[in-house]
Every structure is written in C-alpha cells, then in structure tokens.
C-alpha cells in the first residue's frame, strides 16, 4: 500500500533552500515533527500550515497537493 501524499512541505523547503531544522527552529518545534510532515507521516494543523507558509514566503495552498485530475 502506498502512502498518500498530502503536503509539499519537503519540496517547498528544497525550492527555498531551507532545511527541516531551519523550519523547526523558526517554529520553535522539534525537528522530528517537521520530519514527520515532510514524510507525510503526520500533518501540521491549519494554524501551523499558515505559519509554515509565512516562513517560506508562499501561500498556504501551495503547500498542499492538488487533487485535481488533468484531462
């Protein structure tokens, strides 16, 4: 069974040249928490999603995987 991917936090961190530790430090949380988001083992709360977006200078919606099908 494949794991469902809900967020793009890992991708956006890479695009912005930031690490999991950078985000953890900015949010004052454990790096393991960020790691769980990046592996989609857990998801941030909506409130945290907006804090992540602000830190990464992006829209919260850009951190989520689109469910739209092309075609």
pLDDT at 2 over 90: no
Residue 16: C-alpha distances to residues 9, 12, 41, 68, 69 (Å): 11, 6, 22, 25, 27
d(CA 21, CA 38): 12
Predicted pLDDT of residue 70: 60
CATH superfamily membership of 9-63: lambda repressor-like DNA-binding domains (1.10.260.40)
- Tokens read off for 9: 């936090």
pLDDT at 71 over 60: no
Could you read off the pLDDT of 5-63 as tens digits, one per residue?
A: 899 999 999 999 999 999 999 999 999 999 999 999 999 999 999 999 999 999 999 99
Predicted pLDDT of residue 17: 98
d(CA 14, CA 6): 17
Predicted pLDDT of residue 4: 84
**pTM (two decimals):** 0.88
Give me the numbers of helices (H) and strands (E) for the chain, helices first please.
4, 0
């Amino acid at each position: 069974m494949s794991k469902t991917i809900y967020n793009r936090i890992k991708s956006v961190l890479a695009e912005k040249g930031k690490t999991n530790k950078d985000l953890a430090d900015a949010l004052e949380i454990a790096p393991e928490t960020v790691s769980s988001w990046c592996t989609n083992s857990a998801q941030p709360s909506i409130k945290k999603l907006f804090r992540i977006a602000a830190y990464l200078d992006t829209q919260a919606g850009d951190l989520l995987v689109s469910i739209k099908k092309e075609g």
